[in-house]
Structure 1
Amino acid sequence: MRITKRTNIAMRVLMFCGAHEGVLVTKAMVAEKCNTSESHLAQVIYKLAQLGYLYTQRGRSGGFTLARPMAEIVIGDIFREFESEQHNLECFADGDNTCPLVKGCRLRLTLKEALEAFYNRLDKETLDNLVCGNTALLELFVMPSCHSTRPLRTGTDRG
């Protein structure tokens, strides 16, 4: 199974924010602990904020944090948002499908059912399930003392 790099990064960002719940974190912090570039992060953070999963605060003491409780962030929803643009198989593509078997192919239906089973399983998981009590993950996300985390300021700078 393959998922896109953007989906993978989105999950890393959300898990990192969940591990630092209530604290503004920075792209640099996430990039360091999640082994990804800040430019890739910027695109994913922007989309997560647009979808209402992250609260962002601009400026010198800016950063981002979860915009809703972890128990309300359903993993299947994240995957649908980030994977919906991707067609792994030509037969799922509406416009550029040139497969001559599309009208009589039962494999397409089987694959569609398998994909739904995949999403149905992910719908049973929340960010809370992935982060809370996961000592190994929390230990990976511990920040060295040279990084200061910023307490969440209340304000209206969302976006």
Structure 2
Amino acid sequence: MTSRQPPLPVRTTRTHFPWHDFTMRFSSTPRGARLARRLAGERLDAWGVPYGSDAHDALLLTVGELSSNAVRHGHVSGRDFRLRLSAEGTAIRVEVTDTRGECLPTPADPASPDQEGGRGLLLVAALADRWGWYPCADGPGKTVWAVLEVSPCPKQQDSSQ
């Protein structure tokens, strides 16, 4: 007599997140920005936003832009930047805090096609449902944030059927 085990569950994207929170400091270097993006990708996948989904890609692009802006425009020698991800309901909030409060975020003028960079915040504004910034209350710096509403992905099909 053999016992039949139930099939393993198939991972699907949930439309409603329980409360999740992830916060970590990173060195204010290009390597730190890459690590922030990579760890954010792993965390989002663990929360049910699978790799390769539109929501995952948009969130990682947002994390990458805000992290690289913290390194490029918010860098203060010897000080890190902080990434915070939080999820509640159907929204995921990305916050990046740096220690340079006098360099405020402003989207580039889209009418200047010869400009090499500076379009990161335009991209964030296009991807996010809302975004903004606020000054740090506990010291120098600012926090730039973006909120993305995550819509459900099509459920994965079990290939054994």
TM-score by length of 1: 0.25
Which structure's residues are more often strand, by fraction? 2
Which structure's residues are more often helix, by fraction? 1
Query: Per chain length, whose mean CA-contact separation is higher, i.e. which structure has more relative contact order (CA < 8 Å, sep 6+)?
Result: 1
TM-score by length of 2: 0.25
